Structure 1
């Protein structure tokens, strides 16, 4: 299904939400978050798009290659980036929860709050939610990555 063609108002709403989430958020962190969530959600469409965008913006191939193992890559990602990635994983997974019933552990949230002021943190959370929504739309509708549509020339 081409969801965006049959429901353009949904695309318009998602695009507005995405733009609002990105406003004022560090673009490097925003791309890392989009890529990490897309890895967790196995969204080939979004991975293809955001890896391509990150490379065009000058992101190093090493950082992109090791993003799936960011916790095991000392010194490659800043403390702020690591806090954003940890929050991304917690919000994306929402699995199991803590004994207190919290699905995003307090220590993960507090770590992010140490590196982001309240407005930035709100945008970061919105960014994580936005990419998770985009991932779910694309995975559900079997969206074909652009690189596969154009014969792998990207």
Structure 2
């Protein structure tokens, strides 16, 4: 959800927030993802580390992934979990680019 916010991918954002609601995620937390740094009390330290890594990887062209961001994530995720987290971040960024490149629109399955 955070990567889709940053990439402005309405199609993926709609899909994943719908799935999150069905899985029981609260509206409050879904609304706060976009401003997670200002709403830290909505998220655990582990979730904040994942969100920070998502921000850095998604915006990698700005400054790479700062050591502090990576170290924070590594403190909350073991090596295998961190590899999976990075794979998920990279995957959603790829899907965002596919959706944006093919003019997918929120709530539609057609071009």
Unpaired runs of at least 5, structure 1: 1-34, 98-102, 150-154
Residue in 1 that maps onto 2:91: 130
CA distance in 2 between partners of 1:114 and 1:65 (Å) = 26
69-78 vs 115-124, which moves further: 69-78
**Greater helix share, structure number:** 2
TM-score (norm 2): 0.94
Q: How many residues align?
A: 109
Please give the residue correspondences for 1:64-75 in structure 2 after superposition, counting only pairs within 5 Å.
Answer: 64-75=30-41
**Deviation for aligned residue 1:148:** 4.9
1:3-43 superposed Cα distances (whole Å, 9 cap, x missing partner): xxxxxxxxxxxxxxxxxxxxxxxxxxxxxxxx000000000
1:95-121 superposed Cα distances (whole Å, 9 cap, x missing partner): 332xxxxx1000000000000000000
Unpaired runs of at least 5, structure 2: none
TM-score (norm 1): 0.68
CA distance in 2 between partners of 1:52 and 1:96 (Å) = 30
Please give the residue correspondences for 1:8-47 in structure 2 after superposition, counting only pairs within 5 Å.
Answer: 35-47=1-13
CA distance in 1 between partners of 2:40 and 2:10 (Å) = 27
Which among 39, 52, 73 is matched to residue 112 of structure 1? 73
Please give the residue correspondences for 1:92-107 in structure 2 after superposition, counting only pairs within 5 Å.
Answer: 92-97=58-63, 103-107=64-68
Larger radius of gyration: 1
